[in-house]
Structure 1
Amino acid sequence: MELTLQQIAAAAGGTCCGENRRIASVVTDSREASDGALYVAICGERFDGHDFCAAAVENGAAAIVCERAPDAAVPYVLVKSTRQALLDIAGLYRETRRDVKLIAITGSVGKTTTKEMVWAVLSEQFQTLKTEGNLNNEIGMPKTLFRIAPETQAAVVEMGMNHFGEIARMTAAAKPDAAIITNIGVSHIEYLGSRDGILKAKTEVLAGMPDGAPLLVNGDDDKLKDFTDKRCRVVHFGIENARADIRAAEIEQTQDGMRFTVCFPGGEQRVALPVIGRHQVYNALAAFGAGLLFGVSPARIAAGLAGYVPAGMRQRIRRAGGVTVIEDCYNASPDSQKAALTVLAKTPAKRRIAVLGDMLELGSFSETAHRQVGAFAAEAGLDALYCVGEASKATAEAASGSLPAYWFAEKSGLFSALREAIRPGDAVLFKASRGMALEEVIQKLYGEWNVQ
């Protein structure tokens, strides 16, 4: 990174106080500061970064961006909002590296999985950077841009949001060359009012893209299948939509994953994807489209998808104690819970047991959504349903007329019941929003089964 403090002050609309130092890196955590670093003092809900300015300087920070004069003897840039300044500085650095092909990924469900698949595809041909973990908000996304290195040729940047304007601010900094919208569901509907509101928020990604840039959207999504915008070139991917530009056909599910043929303008390519579920095919189609847009050959795209590895707690399948365990505890929405239940229903097993926790941030739609999932579970051909959390009581109630359904207020009760119920030969799905920490139950069961 080669930026000066005066350049940063100009980009952030701030006032430079002190000498014009060169900046080698940007951090928001004082513990990560090193020689030549710029420390941005973020004001959070539970902390104030201004309290750690002295610590940042002790660790080598050369300068500070702040909303009030710091208690540290280094040059600083005074700004109205350090959160906005962080985005402005990231945008300044991105402007110096427009040679990097950057694709933004947003949507209600499947962002992180799609990001990982796109990374696997682009890495077949380019030195590719990706968003790490869930750093997809206005604080985390700039950190990805700051990691663009001299050797970086492509970047896959995930953008999440809770409110209007967040993606617009992120895309202004990232300046994507292309973007993907995975789907329009009901995640964060509590803050956005309706699916139309969610569509409006997701399409803010276009604001930072060049006119005519490609936007890949899910052609089977009712809010996206007819989507057009004069600012971009819309490319549809899908399974059911015969008009989709990139389409999957001849889909098969095996114990090891999904097999399908991708039909695209000018050809076809057989793909073997090492994860199961029809919803994963949509993620792979988006990644396939990204590869085509960036000039990766169909064969190399297929090789990248074949090497995809699920991230974190997203639908990892393990065999433990004679039980097939589907771990999917990172996040949950009505669409993703239904997709996971479909995966479970198609998993070979003596019995199929679903363990579902609350779906969070659904606002007034919460009870309806949980009942919809319960009704879906009742028709999915499962053998039992276990639910935990206050909101999931509605899920158990909706399913109880058609299959054995049990509800627990606490995870301790759920664990005790599962320990007695699960037997070798069963397939068990664990799915809930991140805040439910359902993986704690899985780890306790693994402990009972002596699984590392």
Structure 2
Amino acid sequence: MEYLSFEEIVKAVNGEVLRKGNRFDYDNISTDTRKIHDKSIFIALKGENFNGNSYVKQASEKGALICIIDEVIYKSEDIKDYTSIIKVQDTKKALLDLAKYYRSKLDIKVVAITGSTGKTSTKDLTAAVLGAKYKVFKTEGNFNNEIGLPLMIFKLDNSYQVAVLEMGMSNLGEIHSMADVARPDIAIITNVGISHIENLKTRENILKAKLEITDFFKEKNTLIVNGDNDLLSLLEEKNFSLIKTGFENKWDFYAYDIVVNENSIDFKVKEKMQVEESIHIDLPGKHNVWNALLAIACGTVLKMSLKEIKEGLRNLQTSDMRLDIIRGNKFTIVNDCYNASPDSMKAAIDVLMNIIGKRKIAVLGTMKELGEESYLAHKEVGKYAKGKGIDLLIALGEFGKAYREGFQERESHEKIKESDESFLQFEDYDSVVEFLISYLKKEDVVLFKASRAMKFEKIIEKLKINND
């Protein structure tokens, strides 16, 4: 973190100084008193079940040199001499305002990534590409909301040349706020599906929310989108450059001769009117070709050659719990339990079917935030799984009946058979583990996929113990 003066901080958050301490050599910002250490700035956020203003005493004792609050709960005698107190109207807004000011002081290019699915994989791919030429920072974990993104901004300093920042959202206005803070030079939209349709009601509204990433764009800015997505394909240039990628040669960057291997993908990429380049990526799944094309286009916008980009992709480092293939002595686990939507479910099933093995089993849980589309979406995934020929579908969660209906649907509309041995539904994790331990045989492959809230990694950890 680059240094900000005390006066700069007060002005940036439009705050009132209630108390001025005697130390100002702070070097990090935290919203969690459990992570505060000497030289911290503590911003006291409020949530449904907590009030950070109640922890000012603990923050001071742990070494916080500044506490930014919006409610006075502390006692003066509990605050250390080195701690300053700044009061604001709203600490969440103060976090965003301070991050916006801090960003304005950095000489750095920002690449912002959003989309219904594929954000994190595209972030990893983009960081790998750009890393061949630049010093790159990328969003850690799931710090991609109005709290997490500012905290990522504060981790930047002028030693970095490019920041690749992920932006998630569940409603209108959220990406607008993050774009105001980050002021991206380049934005990437992976796709527009039905994630968060519970709040936004239509895919058109989801597109509108994603396009907030361009709200502060000018002529020098560039938006890169997946042209194979039906809604994104219709976008037209406005007051900024627009690049479309995909599998058709009408796009600015397109892939062809695609070969999907068990643990990797190979394809050729061509920029319009330019030479082609053969690309190899150590990621499974055809969907990652779309993600890679977005990263490749980003690299060229930042003046990289296709050969440099190819070199960068060799150093790809991916995030946890996203299509992690774990080979044991008995069976293979495909861990993709970080998040779930209909598109990512189908992509994971494709990967499962492409892995060398005997029987293919999918353990699927609930896809959250789909609202009125939930039942049909789960049914559609069940039907897709059946069409791909998986040997056993195991459903967990509230939409087991929908999975069953889709998986057992017949063209002739014959009655669903409750005794179909290729579909099972369980109520708890222990039952799934107990069943799989007895069911799985050597060289079987089992996929785990659900929304993050279902914490499927608990099943995987128990199963891994029996796979040595």
RMSD: 1.8
- Which amino acid counterpart does residue 252 of structure 2 have in structure 1? D
Are the equivalent residues in 1 in contact too, given 2:330–2:467 (CA < 8 A)? no
* Cα-to-partner distance string for 1:51-103 (whole Å, 9 max, x where unaligned): 11111111222222111235254432221211111011001111000x21110
* Cα-to-partner distance string for 1:203-252 (whole Å, 9 max, x where unaligned): 1111233344101101000010111251321110111x332111111100
CA apart distance, 1:137: 0.7
- Which amino acid counterpart does residue 209 of structure 1 have in structure 2? F
Are the equivalent residues in 1 in contact too, given 2:262–2:351 (CA < 8 A)? no
Kindly report which structure 2 residues correspond to 1:435-450, keeping only aligned pairs within 5 A, or say none. Answer: 435-450=453-468
Aligned sequence identity (%): 38
Q: Give me the whole-angstrom Cα distance separating, in 2, the residues matched to 1:411 and 1:419.
A: 12
Q: Give me the whole-angstrom Cα distance separating, in 1, the residues matched to 2:242 and 2:362.
A: 37
Give the corresponding residue for 2:65.
62
* Cα-to-partner distance string for 1:134-171 (whole Å, 9 max, x where unaligned): 01111110111101123111111011111111111111
- For structure 2, which runs of at least 5 residues remain unmatched after alignment? 411-419
Q: Give me the whole-angstrom Cα distance separating, in 2, the residues matched to 1:192 and 1:211.
A: 29
Are the equivalent residues in 2 in contact too, given 1:218–1:225 (CA < 8 A)? yes
Secondary structure class of the residue paired with 2:93: helix
Q: Give me the whole-angstrom Cα distance separating, in 2, the residues matched to 1:201 and 1:12.
A: 26
CA apart distance, 1:379: 0.8
- Go from structure 1 to structure 2 and tell me whether the alpha carbon gap of 1:147 and 1:222 turns closer, same or farther (over 3 Å shift): same
1:292 aligns with 2:310: no
Moved more, 45-54 or 213-222: 45-54
Kindly report which structure 2 residues correspond to 1:207-226, keeping only aligned pairs within 5 A, or say none. Answer: 207-226=215-234
TM-score, normalized by length of structure 1? 0.95
2:56 to 53, 56, 66: 53
Moved more, 4-13 or 261-270: 4-13
Secondary structure class of the residue paired with 1:225: helix
Secondary structure class of the residue paired with 2:447: strand
Give the corresponding residue for 1:38.
41
Are the equivalent residues in 2 in contact too, given 1:168–1:207 (CA < 8 A)? yes
Secondary structure class of the residue paired with 2:441: coil
Give the corresponding residue for 1:85.
94
Give the corresponding residue for 2:413.
none
Secondary structure class of the residue paired with 1:390: coil
Secondary structure class of the residue paired with 2:251: coil
Are the equivalent residues in 1 in contact too, given 2:127–2:164 (CA < 8 A)? yes
CA apart distance, 1:106: 0.5
Kindly report which structure 2 residues correspond to 1:41-440, keeping only aligned pairs within 5 A, or say none. Answer: 41-69=44-72, 71=74, 72=76, 73=79, 74-97=83-106, 99-239=107-247, 241-265=248-272, 266-401=274-409, 404-440=422-458
Moved more, 45-54 or 103-112: 45-54
Q: Give me the whole-angstrom Cα distance separating, in 2, the residues matched to 1:268 and 1:362.
A: 40
CA apart distance, 1:439: 1.7
TM-score, normalized by length of structure 2? 0.92
Give the corresponding residue for 1:28.
31
- Which amino acid counterpart does residue 102 of structure 2 have in structure 1? Y
Q: Aligned residues, how many?
A: 448
Are the equivalent residues in 2 in contact too, given 1:173–1:208 (CA < 8 A)? no
CA apart distance, 1:401: 4.6
Q: Give me the whole-angstrom Cα distance separating, in 2, the residues matched to 1:30 and 1:316.
A: 33
Q: Give me the whole-angstrom Cα distance separating, in 2, the residues matched to 1:325 and 1:304.
A: 28
Q: Give me the whole-angstrom Cα distance separating, in 2, the residues matched to 1:256 and 1:30.
A: 41
Secondary structure class of the residue paired with 1:157: strand
Q: Give me the whole-angstrom Cα distance separating, in 2, the residues matched to 1:330 and 1:112.
A: 10
Are the equivalent residues in 2 in contact too, given 1:31–1:59 (CA < 8 A)? no
Give the corresponding residue for 2:417.
none
Moved more, 250-259 or 303-312: 303-312
- For structure 1, which runs of at least 5 residues remain unmatched after alignment? none
Q: Give me the whole-angstrom Cα distance separating, in 2, the residues matched to 1:245 and 1:257.
A: 24
- Go from structure 1 to structure 2 and tell me whether the alpha carbon gap of 1:36 and 1:415 turns closer, same or farther (over 3 Å shift): closer
Are the equivalent residues in 2 in contact too, given 1:206–1:231 (CA < 8 A)? no
CA apart distance, 1:325: 1.9
CA apart distance, 1:105: 0.6
Q: Give me the whole-angstrom Cα distance separating, in 1, the residues matched to 2:20 and 2:49.
A: 32
CA apart distance, 1:382: 1.6
Q: Give me the whole-angstrom Cα distance separating, in 1, the residues matched to 2:249 and 2:307.
A: 23
